[in-house]
């Protein structure tokens, strides 16, 4: 799924890199959301994930992308679920030119870093996300709404992973809207 997303961004003229976030735990792991066993395996990997090392990996990826022949020097991140959390952290801890978070989990616990967001951050929140419940959504919106660099879109009828094509909670209408907003955001911040 993630490689297909990268292929899509590459087809739009971007250099795209899909890091193996779990290479320290289980290199090359490929999971779907089709079975309860895969959900449980994903949660176990997330529990053992070293967030600081993951952010370091992403920073190394940005550095690499910026040096590729033909690169403009601008680079950003896009993440889904845990990756959405990491995109938020890249907005607070890195020099990424922009970041996009799709249904990032646990961001409400990281809002102490929000004042460090100095470049554009686009957030897509699923209104019916049990992993980012309504109270967490409200906390995130309240903490970030005054930052002019942050844009938050809530998809009221969408569930977690609504943009995952073929996934259990795929919502074509919400995904199309979010992906269109993401494409516009990337054009403004990386190509403009």
Query: Which of 160, 169, 171, 184 is an active site residue?
Result: 160
Closest alpha carbon to 190 in 13, 25, 7: 13
Looking at the predicted structure, is the pLDDT value of residue 192 above 80?
no
CA distance linking residue 44 with residue 48, whole number of Å: 6
HSE at residue 53, side-chain half, CA atoms within 13 A, is 10
188 is written with which tokens?
């403004």
Average pLDDT over residues 80-90: 97
100 is written with which tokens?
């996009």
User: Is 129 tagged catalytic?
Assistant: yes
Query: Which of 33, 97, 108, 129 is an active site residue?
Result: 129
User: Is 97 tagged catalytic?
Assistant: no
- Which residue is listed with tokens 């990281």? 110
CA distance linking residue 159 with residue 138, whole number of Å: 16
Average pLDDT over residues 107-131: 98
Average pLDDT over residues 154-173: 95
Rg (CA), the chain: 16
pLDDT in tens, 25-80: 999 998 877 788 888 898 899 899 999 999 999 999 999 999 999 999 999 999 99
Query: If you average pLDDT over every residue of the chain, what do you get?
Result: 95
Question: What confidence tier does 156 reach under pLDDT thresholds 50, 70, 90?
Answer: very high
* Domains, the chain, ordered by start: 51-191 (3.40.50.1820)
CA distance linking residue 53 with residue 68, whole number of Å: 23
pLDDT at position 39, please? 83
Percent of the chain with pLDDT over 70: 99
The answer to whether the beta carbons of residues 91 and 107 sit under 8 Å apart is no
pLDDT at position 33, please? 76
């Amino acid at each position: 799924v993630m490689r297909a997303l990268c292929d899509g961004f590459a087809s739009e003229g971007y250099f795209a890199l899909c890091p193996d976030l779990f290479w320290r735990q289980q290199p090359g792991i490929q999971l779907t959301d089709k079975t309860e066993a895969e959900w449980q395996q994903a949660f176990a990997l997330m529990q053992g994930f070293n967030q600081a090392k993951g952010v370091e990996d992403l920073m190394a990826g940005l550095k690499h992308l910026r040096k590729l022949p033909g690169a403009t020097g601008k680079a950003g991140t896009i993440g889904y679920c845990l990756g959405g959390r990491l995109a938020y952290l890249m907005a607070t801890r890195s020099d990424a030119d922009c970041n996009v978070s799709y249904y990032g989990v646990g961001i409400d616990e990281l809002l102490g870093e929000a004042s460090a967001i100095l470049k554009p951050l686009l957030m897509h929140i699923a209104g019916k996300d049990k992993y980012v419940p309504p109270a967490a959504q409200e906390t995130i919106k309240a903490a970030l709404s005054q930052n002019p660099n942050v844009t938050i879109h809530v998809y009221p009828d969408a569930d977690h992973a609504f943009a995952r094509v073929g996934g259990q909670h795929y919502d074509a209408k919400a995904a199309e809207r979010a992906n269109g907003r993401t494409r516009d955001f990337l054009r403004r911040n990386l190509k403009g």
